[in-house]
Structure 1
Amino acid sequence: MEIIKLHYPLDDKLKFNDKTVIAMGFFDGFHRGHQAVFQRAKDEAVKLGATFAVLTYDHHPALVYKKMSAHEKRYITLLDHKMALFDAFGVQKVFLVNYSHAFQSQQPKEFITNFLERFNAVAVVAGFDHTYGDKRTATMANLPTFVNGAFKVITVPPIEIDQKKVSSTRIRIGLDSGDVKQVNRLLGRPFQTKGVIVHGEERGRLLGYPTANVEHSEYQWLPKIGIYVVTVEIADRKYLGMASIGRNVTFSDGHPMTVEINLLDFNQNIYGEIVRVNWLSYIRDEIKFETPEQLINQLDEDNQTTRKYMNDHPNTLN
């Protein structure tokens, strides 16, 4: 997959000769709705003998038009993960645009001339609610009028689960409530994060439950504080674990938030490893215990809950 980074205004010499079918959108999460857009574009590219391409952005478009909190600035899928998902889907070319005020301020016909026609589009595909400029006018409903027959415009209707539209917003709400099972239904795969194993305070080892401390990017959206069933991918192998997102409140009221994972039946030194964590099921909230013994008893229960999940889902490590 070729990734072409672009900044508006584009160099006049920048030309693309191969005809393309372009899927347009930001695609944070790359959920089932996004996958429907990609599948439609991929099918059209095969039909027309064109390159399957994606026009997407390097950061949240909302950064341009509103002040965002630190939490809102996070992503369901960081850029490198999103590009890997695109590649696995069969995308051949990505036009990765720096989303700036100048880019957003283009009139629809300018956007078509500056980008879509320059990319030699024979068809463009996007979700029904996609916009490419001013939200009042730069809509998919209006795009055929602006295009005026220069290429085909395909609008993909929403995908619904439980009579509600699948959306990135719905996934963020699910993560904030800890409902990772629902999040995974919306994604069509386990919610996954990536981080590096670093040294922690090693309290888990003293309790009989040693943990791998996973340091994540500050821009990674994580599930809410609590205990979860996870699998951890290390060097292309999966291991079952129970993960804690929390502040170790049993030992300190002022502890920073950490992600710590006890890998079941595992005894290897993995400091420095970059791992991928698949979040599978919510177990419980973080609890402040009066004694370490109470915490150990709860960890024993969590261990049994995690093993039961594995028994109920025998393909978890495949």
Structure 2
Amino acid sequence: MQTIELTHPYKKECIFPEPIVLALGFFDGIHLGHKEVITTAKRVGQERGLKVAVMSFNQHPSVIFQNVDPASIQYVSPLERKKELLEELGVDIFYLVDFTREFGALTPKEFVDQYIVGLNAKVIVAGFDYTYGKRDIANMDLLPKYASNRF
């Protein structure tokens, strides 16, 4: 599995150049729901001949949005264990985004433009409760609006 660390704004040359299936989520612990998201992405990738990527964050968004002390958060799976679990599930590319105030301030459209279209995603897979954009204002139901038929 290739790990690509991204800091907003990222450099385009860091991005995997081919179309991908992109699974979105924090994926702490890789529980059954997370496994379902990733195995769905794998199945779609196999059907369409696409590599599977997971995009996650280096810290929980609450550190930025709620000023939670990073040292107080108990992650179910530390980062290295998360990488191991993702690799065991057959993920090809792991995008690890530095969750900064600037990244957290992206509008839903900016997030879709830069972190979905910009990562060459052709299919998106996420859990029912995945949100994106400044203050989590958009959910998966709104994705077609921001996608504008680009994936």
**Aligning the two structures, in what range does the TM-score lie when normalised by the shorter sequence?**
over 0.9
Question: Do 1:129 and 1:139's aligned partners in 2 also have CA atoms closer than 8 Å?
Answer: yes
What is the CA-CA distance between 1:67 and the residue it aligns to?
3.2
Rate the CA distance shift 1:74–1:90 in 2: closer, same or farther, 3 A. same
CA-to-aligned-CA distance 1:212-255 (integer Å, 9 cap, x gap): xxxxxxxxxxxxxxxxxxxxxxxxxxxxxxxxxxxxxxxxxxxx
CA-to-aligned-CA distance 1:242-288 (integer Å, 9 cap, x gap): xxxxxxxxxxxxxxxxxxxxxxxxxxxxxxxxxxxxxxxxxxxxxxx
2:16 corresponds to which residue? Answer: 16
TM-score relative to the length of structure 2: 0.93
1:43 corresponds to which residue? Answer: 43
In the TM superposition, what are the counterparts of 1:77-156 in structure 2 within 5 Å? 77-135=77-135, 137-151=137-151
As a proportion of its length, which structure holds more helix? 2
Question: Do 1:16 and 1:118's aligned partners in 2 also have CA atoms closer than 8 Å?
Answer: no
Rate the CA distance shift 1:135–1:70 in 2: closer, same or farther, 3 A. closer
Unmatched 5+ residue regions in structure 1?
152-318
Rate the CA distance shift 1:43–1:74 in 2: closer, same or farther, 3 A. same
Name the Cα RMSD after superposition: 1.7
Rate the CA distance shift 1:67–1:90 in 2: closer, same or farther, 3 A. same
Unmatched 5+ residue regions in structure 2?
none
What is the CA-CA distance between 1:15 and the residue it aligns to?
4.3
Q: Which has the higher contact order (CA 8 A, sep 6+)?
A: 2
Tell me the secondary structure at the aligned position of residue 129 of structure 1.
Answer: coil
Question: Do 2:4 and 2:14's aligned partners in 1 also have CA atoms closer than 8 Å?
Answer: no
What is the CA-CA distance between 1:31 and the residue it aligns to?
0.2
User: Computing the radius of gyration over CA atoms, which structure comes out larger, 1 or 2?
Assistant: 1
Rate the CA distance shift 1:148–1:72 in 2: closer, same or farther, 3 A. same
As a proportion of its length, which structure holds more strand? 1
TM-score relative to the length of structure 1: 0.45
What is the CA-CA distance between 1:68 and the residue it aligns to?
2.6
